[in-house]
A and B are shown apart, each in its own frame.
Chain A
C-alpha cells in the first residue's frame, strides 16, 4: 500500500499543528463558535447528539494492520472502546473530547492517517473497490489513481470552498462495488481498443434529498490527462454550482439544470485550456512511483484447490456457510478474498470494538500480507488469504465474534447512525436494522432468500444509502414520532437505480412486518434463479403495494 514520503509526512504534521492552534484559540475564547465551526468541520469534527464526533479518513478504504491497531488504541484512549465504519470507508468516533482532538490527530499522523477533508465543502475522501488488486476482472488497481487524486485534492487552494461537499469514487472492474454512479464524480477504469488504460467519467450522481444517477460525460480520458480533466470539472462546478440554496448546491443539480450535454461541453472547453498549460500533465514516472506501492504482494505459487479447505468445508457446517457467503474468488490460484461481516445478528452495522480491531489486525498481519480494506457496505475485507488458511482465519474471526456468515444476504444491512447518535436524524436506524436481522436470523432462510440489500437512513440526507437499497428504509418524523418510508428496487452497482416509494410510511411497530411481507411476496413470485432485484425488475412495484396495503 501507499507509504508516506517526507513530503506527505510534513504536510500532515503541519495540518496537526494548525488544528492544535485552532483548538487552542477556541478553548481560550479567542475564536467564537461561529468562527470555529467551519474550521473544525474542515477536519471531520462534528457536534453530534451526545458529544463531538471525529471522522477519520481511510483513503480508498485501505488500511495496514498497524493503522488498524492505532484506530483501536484511539478508541480505547480517547473514546469508549469502539468505532463505526461508514459507507464512505471512513471511521467515526462518537465520543472524543474537543480538547483531546489535537492529540488524536497527532497519534493518527504517526501511522500516516488524518482527518483532512472528511467534512466541509471540499473534495472528500476518495472511495474505491474493496477488492482492489485481488479481483479477477480488474483492469487496473483503482487505488493507484485514487492515491493520485487524494494528493491532488488535498488542500487544493481553488476547491476548498466549493458550493457543497464533493465525493469521488473509482472502480477498476466492470462489476461496480464502489457505487460510482451515485457519486459527484464516478471514475470507471477502462481499456481502449489499443490496450491503453484510461477513464470513463460519470458526473452528477448523488443521494441525499434529490437522488440522481451520474451521467457519463467522457468515454476515455487518457491517464496523463486525468487531473487536468478533473480540475476542469471542479472549476466548472466551482464557478456555476448554485450557492443560493444548500439543497440545490451539489453538482448533480447543476448537471440536471444545464443538462449532461452542456456540462460535457463546458468541461471539455475548460479541459482543453487547462491541458494547454501542461501544468497538470501527469508524468508516467509519478504514476509508476505510486503504482509500485500497490505492486502485488509476494503471492506463492499454489494449486488452486486446497485439500485443507475442502476437508474443513465438509467437516464444519458453520465454516461451510461462511465460505459460501463471505469468501470471494481471487485472481491468483490458491488465494481467496475474505469478507468480514460487521453485521452480527442484533448488532450495530459497522460498529467494531477496539478488541475486534486488534484481532482483525493480527489476522491481517498473519494471513493477508498485513493489510485490509473497509467496504462501502460497512464491512471489512482481507484481500489476499491463502485458501488453505481459511479454516484458521475463520476460527480466529469466530473467537473475536466476527464470523457472521451473511455477506450480501438480507441481514448484511447498511444503516446510518440515525437518532441514536446523529443530531440531524428524524428517526432511529440501528434498532430497525437489529430487529430486521433478528427476524431473519435463520441462515437457511437467508440463503433461500438470497442476495438482498436493505439500506436504512435516519433522515433524508441518505447517509445509509436507502435510495439504492434493494429495499430502502427512510426514517421520517411525524409530530415527534418515528415513521419509516419504504422504497423498492434501488441498486448501487453497474445497474444503478433509485428505489421507488412503495406507499405511506409505517410505524415502528409495523415496519419489520412490512419488510417480511415484501420478502414473502418476492418468494411467492420469483422465478428460478431470480434474486429479489431481478424479480422486482420483472414484476414492478404493484404486487408489493397490494400485499402491503390491501389488508390495511
Chain B
C-alpha cells in the first residue's frame, strides 16, 4: 500500500480522479488534466512536488478532480513510466482485462 508515497522518491507526477466520472487523470505542464500519463508534468524534488500539489488546488476547489497525490515515475526511452505496480496498473487498466481502461482506449498507453 501507499507505494506512491515511498520515501526518497525523486521524480514525481501528480494524479487524481475526475469528479464526475472518476477517471484517472494527470496534471500537465500547462495545468490541464490529461488521461494519459505521457502528458504528465514530471518534476524533481520535494519543493517542486509541493508546487505541483499547489497547482492542483484550483481544480480541487473547482470540483473538477478529487483525491490528488504525487507518485514516483521513471523516464525510459522518452516515455514516462510509473515506478510501482499500483500506479502502472492505474495508468493502463486492469492487467486481467486488457480490453478495458486506458490501455484499450488511448493511443500510446502501455504497461
Contacts and interface: CB of A to CB of B under 8 A. Distances in A.
Direct contact of A and B (CB under 8 A): yes
A249 B17 CA distance: 29
A428 interface: yes
Interface in A460-490: 477, 479-482
A33 B66 contact: yes
Interface in A51-95: 51-52, 80, 95
Contact of B21 (A99, A420, A424): A99
B96 A480 contact: no
Given A51-B17, A477-B3, A480-B3, A419 B89 contact: yes
Contact of A420 (B19, B60, B67, B96): B96
A497 interface: no
Given A50-B101, A424-B1, A430 B96 contact: yes
Contact of B62 (A29, A97, A420): A29
A98 B22 contact: yes
Contacts of B84: 480
A27 B19 CA distance: 8
B20 interface: yes
A48 B89 CA distance: 12
Interface of chain A: mostly helix, strand, loop or mixed: loop
Contacts of A97: 20-22
B94 A421 contact: yes
B46 interface: no
Contacts of A26: 19, 63
Contacts of B51: none
Interface string B7-39: 000000000010111111000000000000000
A416 interface: no
Interface of chain B: mostly helix, strand, loop or mixed: loop
Contacts of B97: 348, 420
A450 interface: no
Contact of A480 (B6, B17, B20, B101): B6
A50 B22 CA distance: 7
Nearest to B64: A29
Contacts of A144: none
Interface of A: 26-29, 33, 47-52, 80, 95-99, 348, 419-421, 424-428, 430-431, 434, 459, 477, 479-482
18 contacts: A27-B20, A29-B63, A33-B19, A33-B60, A47-B17, A50-B90, A51-B24, A95-B22, A95-B100, A96-B22, A97-B22, A98-B21, A420-B89, A424-B1, A426-B1, A428-B89, A430-B94, A430-B96
Task: Pick the 8 closest A-B CB pairs, nearest first.
Answer: A97-B21, A52-B22, A51-B22, A420-B94, A29-B63, A430-B96, A480-B84, A33-B66
